[in-house]
Amino acid sequence: MPFSPTLAYAFEIRAHLDPSLHIGHGDGEVTEFTPIVGGTVDGPLLRGKVLPGGGDWSSTRGEVCELDARYLLQADDGAVIDIVNRGYYRPAPDSPDQYDADLQVTHAGHYYRTHPVFRTDAPAHRWLAETVFVGLARPEGEDVVAIRIYALT
């Protein structure tokens, strides 16, 4: 019987954003920077806040936007955690709304997925740097992105 990995809900990041800054145009590409100015982290495996000062560099080619975000989280116990979160946002006409229990975690018609990688030397949070994660992202208004983080088990 084939093995299928599973995903376990870990926490949700709600990153607060400032307006994007235009960086430039390349050959068929638009590059922008979106400042991350704060936010929250809440879930069964991690609680804390998003520290201001990070950002998301995006490159859009046609309808596909490649994301490369880097920012800091601070756990409720004071530990600081570095996150590099890469992914893609693109139209996906066949993609339905997706739910985790009653919470809508994706919007129909969009593929918005990330692969976060964490670094920290805090013993209580070392598991973050030793686990593979997948993020399902969704915009919430113009200035918040919610990313539901799942551990690959």
What is the distance between the alpha carbons of residues 87 and 64, in angstroms, rounded to a whole number?
10
Contact 9, 148 (CB under 8 A): yes
Domain residue ranges in the chain: 7-152
Coil, helix or strand at residue 47: coil
Q: What percent of the chain has pLDDT over 90?
A: 80
Q: Which of 78-82, 105-109, 112-116 has the lowest mean pLDDT?
A: 105-109
Q: What pLDDT is recorded for position 100?
A: 86
pLDDT exceeds 90 at position 73: yes
Mean predicted confidence (pLDDT) in 13-30? 93
pLDDT exceeds 90 at position 97: no
Per-residue pLDDT tens digits for 111-141? 999 999 999 999 999 999 999 999 999 999 8
Coil, helix or strand at residue 89: strand
Residue 11 corresponds to which tokens in the numbers above? 């926490």
CATH class of 7-152: mainly beta
What is the distance between the alpha carbons of residues 14 and 50, in angstroms, rounded to a whole number?
8
Residue 50 corresponds to which tokens in the numbers above? 């998003």
For the CA atoms of the chain, what is the radius of gyration?
Answer: 16
Nearest CA-CA partner of 31 in 40, 21, 39:
21
Q: What pLDDT is recorded for position 56?
A: 97
Residue 61 pairs in a beta bridge with: 29, 64
